[in-house]
């Protein structure tokens, strides 16, 4: 389970600014897709070695004298869901009654607290911090969310109190440049072949309450040993169910909660975004279930956006397809296209979990999506495809100079990361990034998985590594330089 950190504080202290800083690192790789909403309260983040979840609160107006009731409620819920809280105050406006109120809430509901004095850029830390000792939340830490000052240190301190106890090993590989250079083309392909069939493939089933997750899971498991229902309450834990199909081992990560039959009467499912996010984190493929009778809701869009940001392979399932007139079916399909344009990479499957219709299509789709997420692409093929993409549709001119894209190689898998070396790459419009992603997607059959582009500037990826190059790499370097001069 990832540590969950809540950001609390009175309005305008900079919680959302910090939230953005803490969650942007991963998103930076995702092209800005239309429809992908960015103003969220929950997010994945990773600044140092330990990944985490962040909850932003607030956005509710309140006076200096106190804070509104709605905000109190929101703050308490966030504190209960979180493992640690960052209480934010404003180092420029000083201590207020509202800060006192927030501190009281933190003392009562938070498991662990850190006090951050924000907007401290250019201020003397000791002076900025001095009056906030009075909050009784330990030593204040002067930070600047906007400038990123001491945010790393604060997070290190918070996260060092959590150790990563991951019972399930997820393949979520990042390769470093060094390794890629050394492996070059042939090597990379070999690495991908390593016996993946023996592993358990981890599938998370997520969706709003009542969309039919439980029924679907029962169908998938095909046994009545377990009955699926959530117990009321705020339990954040999801349940892992191992099962086997066609000689393949799977682990189903269930967010609805699997309970023994005896508990069936407690049949109220409480939706927890945190639980869904933890499941997304642990899974390699996500099955997102929507209710065709209801259509695509705001919460579905938000949840799917998070799957996308986390880079998980995805199957979109429209459940309750039975008993829908063709007109209604068309409306749901249109709804999907319109509301979720950024999910065009995912297979959509319409099913009836109740009657079992098309449920058999799910595992094959899961396998396809996983294979795409783990695909190995050689530098030669990627660079060739990059060149032909540019040929078909040249990169734009920016201030009279054309954006140059020179080489492409794979920088990771699950999700596939394609690293492109070139000049002025930061000026490449999102539409062009999406164009490239779509080309790569087609050629390398990357259906079912998000694809990330990462850009590296500099003429020659091998520059400066002269002394460590193997003879083969040295020859290649010379070749590239020669080509570059042309
Ligand atoms: N100088 C300075 N300004 C900051 C810093 N962090 C945030 N701000 C500014 O403070 C204002 C409020 O920031 P938000 O992040 O929206 O604050 P918030 O706590 O999320 O506010 P609510 O959601 O309304 O409760 C914005 O104008 C920010 O640009 C900082 O480190 N230094
Ligand atoms: Mg805010």
3-state secondary structure of 453: strand
Q: What percentage of the chain carries pLDDT values higher than 90?
A: 51
Lowest mean pLDDT among 41-45, 71-75, 258-262: 258-262
Centre of ligand 2 to C-alpha 434, Å, is 30
Mean pLDDT of 325-346: 91
Neighbours of ion ligand 2 (CB under 5 A): 15-16, 58-59
Q: Is the pLDDT of residue 324 over 70?
A: yes
Domain 4-159 has CATH 3.40.50.300: yes
Confirm whether 201-373 and 379-485 share one CATH topology.
no
Q: Is the pLDDT of residue 406 over 90?
A: yes
Confidence at residue 30, expressed as pLDDT on a 0 to 100 scale = 52
Higher-confidence residue of 178 and 152: namely: 152
Q: Is the pLDDT of residue 18 over 60?
A: yes
Closest ligand to the CA of 9: 1
Q: Is the pLDDT of residue 405 over 90?
A: yes
Higher-confidence residue of 66 and 41: namely: 41
Lowest mean pLDDT among 255-269, 440-454, 470-484: 255-269
Centre of ligand 2 to C-alpha 43, Å, is 14
Name the residue of 6, 8, 9, 12 to mutate for ligand 1: max ligand atoms within 8 A of Cβ.
Answer: 12
Do residues 456 and 404 touch, judged by C-beta distance below 8 A? no
Spans of all domains in the chain: 4-159, 201-373, 379-485
421-433 tens-digit pLDDT: 999 888 898 889 9
Name the residue of 8, 13, 17 to mutate for ligand 1: max ligand atoms within 8 A of Cβ.
Answer: 17
Atom of ligand 1 nearest to the CA of 144: 31
Do residues 160 and 345 touch, judged by C-beta distance below 8 A? no
Q: Is the pLDDT of residue 61 over 50?
A: no
Higher-confidence residue of 320 and 475: namely: 320
Higher-confidence residue of 469 and 6: namely: 6
Confidence at residue 275, expressed as pLDDT on a 0 to 100 scale = 86
Higher-confidence residue of 447 and 222: namely: 447
Do residues 159 and 128 touch, judged by C-beta distance below 8 A? no
What burial letters (b/e) apply to 123-152, b meaning 16+ CB within 10 Å? bebeebbeebeebebeebbbbbbeeebbbe
Torsion of CA 411, 188, 315, 44, to 10 degrees: -30
According to CATH, what is the number of the domain 379-485? 3.30.300.20
Instruction: Name the CATH superfamily for 201-373.
Output: P-loop containing nucleotide triphosphate hydrolases (3.40.50.300)
Which token pair is 381? 């093929």
Centre of ligand 1 to C-alpha 93, Å, is 12
pLDDT-based confidence at residue 163 (cuts at 50, 70, 90): confident
Q: Is the pLDDT of residue 169 over 60?
A: no
Mean pLDDT of 305-312: 90
Confidence at residue 436, expressed as pLDDT on a 0 to 100 scale = 95
Confidence at residue 40, expressed as pLDDT on a 0 to 100 scale = 73
Q: Ligand 1: which residues within 6 Å by Cβ?
A: 9, 11-17, 58-59, 118-119, 121, 144-147
Crossing angle of helices 379-392/177-193, nearest 10°?
110
Confidence at residue 72, expressed as pLDDT on a 0 to 100 scale = 85
Centre of ligand 2 to C-alpha 45, Å, is 17
Angstrom distance (rounded) from CA 485 to CA 469:
21
Q: Is the pLDDT of residue 180 over 70?
A: no
Closest ligand to the CA of 67: 1
Q: Is the pLDDT of residue 4 over 90?
A: yes
The alpha-carbon radius of gyration of the chain (Å, integer) is: 25
Mean pLDDT, the chain, whole residue set = 82
Q: Is the pLDDT of residue 253 over 50?
A: yes
Confidence at residue 263, expressed as pLDDT on a 0 to 100 scale = 43
Q: What percentage of the chain carries pLDDT values higher than 70?
A: 77
Centre of ligand 2 to C-alpha 152, Å, is 20
pLDDT-based confidence at residue 267 (cuts at 50, 70, 90): very low
Lowest mean pLDDT among 54-68, 108-122, 257-271, 336-350: 257-271
Strand partners, 43: 54
Confidence at residue 1, expressed as pLDDT on a 0 to 100 scale = 82
Q: Is the pLDDT of residue 347 over 90?
A: yes
Crossing angle of helices 15-27/298-310, nearest 10°?
50
DSSP sequence for 66-122: ---HHHHHHHHHHHHH-SEEEEEEETTT---HHHHHHHHHHHHH-SSEEEEEES-TT
Centre of ligand 1 to C-alpha 187, Å, is 48
Q: Give burial (CB, 10 Å; 0-12/13-18/19+) of 457.
A: exposed
Q: Is the pLDDT of residue 46 over 70?
A: yes
Q: Is the pLDDT of residue 378 over 70?
A: yes
Highest mean pLDDT pick, 49-63, 69-83, 463-477: 69-83
HEC assignment per residue over 253-315:
EECCCEECHHHCCCCCCCCCHHHHHHHHHHCCEEEEEEECCCCCCHHHHHHHHHHHHHCCEEE
Confidence at residue 255, expressed as pLDDT on a 0 to 100 scale = 75
3-state secondary structure of 223: coil
Q: Is the pLDDT of residue 197 over 80?
A: no
């Amino acid at each position: 389970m990832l540590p969950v950190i809540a950001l609390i504080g009175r309005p305008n202290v900079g919680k959302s600014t910090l939230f953005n800083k803490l969650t942007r690192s991963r998103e930076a790789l995702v092209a800005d897709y239309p429809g992908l909403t960015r103003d969220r309260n929950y997010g994945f983040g990773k600044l140092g070695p330990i990944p985490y979840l962040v909850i932003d609160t607030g956005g509710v107006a309140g006076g200096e004298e106190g804070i509104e009731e709605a905000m109190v409620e929101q703050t308490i819920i966030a504190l209960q869901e979180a493992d640690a809280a960052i209480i934010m105050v404003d180092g420029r406006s000083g201590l207020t009654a509202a800060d006192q109120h927030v501190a009281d809430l933190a003392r009562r509901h938070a498991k662990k607290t850190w006090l951050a004095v924000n907007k401290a850029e250019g201020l003397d830390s000791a002076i900025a911090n001095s009056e906030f000792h009075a909050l009784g939340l330990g030593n204040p830490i002067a930070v600047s969310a906007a400038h990123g000052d001491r945010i790393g240190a604060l997070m290190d301190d918070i996260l060092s109190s959590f150790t990563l106890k991951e019972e399930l090993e997820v393949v979520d590989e990042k390769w470093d440049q060094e390794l890629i250079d050394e492996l070059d083309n042939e090597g990379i392909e070999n690495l991908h072949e390593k016996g993946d069939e023996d592993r358990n493939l981890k599938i998370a089933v997520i969706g709003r309450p009542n969309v039919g997750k439980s029924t679907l899971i029962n169908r998938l498991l095909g046994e009545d040993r377990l009955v699926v229902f959530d117990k009321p309450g705020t339990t954040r834990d999801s349940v892992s169910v191992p099962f086997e199909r066609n000689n393949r081992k799977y682990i189903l990560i269930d967010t609805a909660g699997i309970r023994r039959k005896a508990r069936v009467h407690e049949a109220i499912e409480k939706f927890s975004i945190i639980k869904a996010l933890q499941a997304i984190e642990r899974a390699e493929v996500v099955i997102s279930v929507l209710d065709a009778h209801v259509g695509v809701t705001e919460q579905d869009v938000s949840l799917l956006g998070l799957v996308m940001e986390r880079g998980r392979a995805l199957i979109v399932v429209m459940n309750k397809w039975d008993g829908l007139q063709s007109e209604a079916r068309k409306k749901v399909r249109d709804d999907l296209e319109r509301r979720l344009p950024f999910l065009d990479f995912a297979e959509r499957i319409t099913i009836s979990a109740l009657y079992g219709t098309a449920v058999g299509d799910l595992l094959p789709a899961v396998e396809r999506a996983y294979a795409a997420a783990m695909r190995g692409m050689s530098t030669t093929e990627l660079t060739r495809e990059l060149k032909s993409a540019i040929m078909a549709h040249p990169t734009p001119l920016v201030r009279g100079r054309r954006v140059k894209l020179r080489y492409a190689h794979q920088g990771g898998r699950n999700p596939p990361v394609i690293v492109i070396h070139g000049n002025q790459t930061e000026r490449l419009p999102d539409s062009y990034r999406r164009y490239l992603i779509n080309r790569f997607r087609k050629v390398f059959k990357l259906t079912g998985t998000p694809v990330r582009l990462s850009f590296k500037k500099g003429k020659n990826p091998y520059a400066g590594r002269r002394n460590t190059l193997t003879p083969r790499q040295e020859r290649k370097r010379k070749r590239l330089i020669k080509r570059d001069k042309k």
